[in-house]
Amino acid sequence: MNHDKMAARPHVEQQRPLPHAFVILFFLALLAAIVTWFVPSGSFERITNADGRSVIVAGTYQAIDSPGIGPFEFFNAFFEGMKSGSSIIFFLVIVGGTFGVLRRSRAIEGLVHFLLVKLKGREILIIPLMMTFFALCSGTYGMIEGSIVYIFILLPLARRIGYDAVVAAAIPLIGTAIGYTGSFLNPFNVGVAQSIAELTLFSGMGYRFVCWLAFVALSIGYVMFYARRVQARPERSVVYGLAPPDEEGPGDHVDLTPRHLLILGAFALALVAIIAGVSAFGWYLKEMAGVFLLLGIVTGLLANMRANTIAGAFSTGCKDMMDGALAVGLAFTIVVIVQHSEIIDTIIHSLSTLIGDTSASAAALGMFAMQSAMNFIVTSGSGQAALTMPIMTPIADLAEVHRQVAVLAFQFGDGISNAFTPTAGWLMAGLTIAGIPWSRWMRFMLPLIALLYALGAVLILLATLVVWPLA
């Protein structure tokens, strides 16, 4: 089996150690602190709209006197970053604990063996099926953080087929990011942006669904091409030579038992409950964490574990997740530094000035570029919409660009970079779980990034000139 080639590498490459995710994030935070001494501070006036959101008042930017981030404030920002990301951090820790119990039950290994038997010769179908699932979840109800828990299941499955950890991580991470990019029913990005732009909620859904299909098809094709190449020649993997986490023995097969089926049924039921809760009842991380905690306990009981065994497996799972959880806090630190120095409004003002007096097509592409740049600083879709759409809306009117195009430029800029920016805590957490250094992930992502931005530009021009032209 091709997995044997992946597992039985002659040696692990002796090379210069790659930067740890914490090192990358620390130096990005340091760079952000240095920038605060060179970019002047400023602010827009803000009002609370009818939906209770704080939005910017266009044309009210004023420079203010605010010092840059000093050494003491810089190190304090790490605590503030952990505090700001605490809800996501604790959610990930609880999920990690639950998957620790799930792994102890061996139900995942049983499922992997069952799928390999049923899909023998057609294993590649896992990629389009699963990526479409993740893209639908993020394109409709905005699933982001919840997607990374699937990496635990996909890692052993990918290795047994003969793929690498990059494929296992790409399925949920790229699938979710691209679904977010082409969102057609997501209340957190399209919904917020359209309400600020005073458009009918979820209007223009038809063209957005076409965009979603285009982004998903391109991404699936790219991941399938990479997976086939790695399966045929393992040395072409971008993580070749790196010791994978939790390496399995090639002959470690576990039959799927009735007890495993009960555990997997509980897992499926928990996911259905989360999807229903998020879409119908407004659940978020707190409620999702509660469901996963309950799932961990139920899994242990169904696996006939003693209380101490459940607790020990949960503790081990929490420890395994700590690197990923702390990466979220470090990513939030960068946002805290930029926010406390009050340079975000200056960046928005400068970029909006550049877009100002241009043609409709150039203005639309400029909005796309601006939103892409802003997503490195503000990775929250709703947060970025609240910051930028009050500026983009009047700019669109002045440049004779339909407001639907302004929303489209926002969601494309907000979504594509989610798949590679190191300031996206959920991405860094997922890469840490999969044992993939960010530098290796970027080596894999660069061709796809170029294709996605090119596709986004074409779709925005098509929207500007054909779908939503202004008379």
pLDDT digits (tens, 9 = 90+) for 276-293: 887 688 787 788 889 989
pLDDT at 377 over 90: no
Which of residues 42 and 383 earns the better pLDDT score? 42
Place of tokens 């032209």: 469
| Low-confidence winner among 99-108, 210-219, 402-411 (lowest mean pLDDT) | 99-108
Residues 253/113, Cβ–Cβ less than 8 Å: yes
Which of residues 314 and 382 earns the better pLDDT score? 314
Which of residues 201 and 290 earns the better pLDDT score? 290
| 272 Cβ neighbours under 8 A, 6+ residues apart | none
Residues 350/392, Cβ–Cβ less than 8 Å: no
Return d(Cα 74, Cα 78) in angstroms, integer: 7
Output the CA–CA distances (angstroms, integers) from residue 411 to 112, 429, 446, 459, in the order listed. Answer: 35, 23, 20, 12
Tell me how crowded residue 265 is: count the other CB atoms within 10 A of its CB: 12
Return d(Cα 419, Cα 440) in angstroms, integer: 13
pLDDT value of position 13: 45
> Which segments within 418-468 are labelled E, that is strand?
none
Give the residues across from 56 on adjacent strands. Answer: 46
The secondary structure of 14-39 as a DSSP string is --PPPPPHHHHHHHHHHHHHHHTTTS
Count CA atoms closer than 13 A to 191's CA, side-chain side: 11
Structure tokens at 21: 């995710």
Structure tokens at 171: 């399925």
Return d(Cα 62, Cα 64) in angstroms, integer: 6
Return d(Cα 415, Cα 175) in angstroms, integer: 11
pLDDT value of position 444: 97
Which of residues 148 and 460 earns the better pLDDT score? 460
In 3D, which of 128, 297, 155, 159 has the Cα closest to residue 222? 128
Q: At 51, is the secondary structure helix, strand, or coil?
A: coil
Return d(Cα 470, Cα 398) in angstroms, integer: 12
Residues 33/337, Cβ–Cβ less than 8 Å: yes
pLDDT value of position 6: 41
Tell me how crowded residue 441 is: count the other CB atoms within 10 A of its CB: 25
* Band of residue 408 on the pLDDT scale cut at 50, 70, 90: very high
pLDDT at 241 over 60: yes
* Average pLDDT of span 8-30: 66
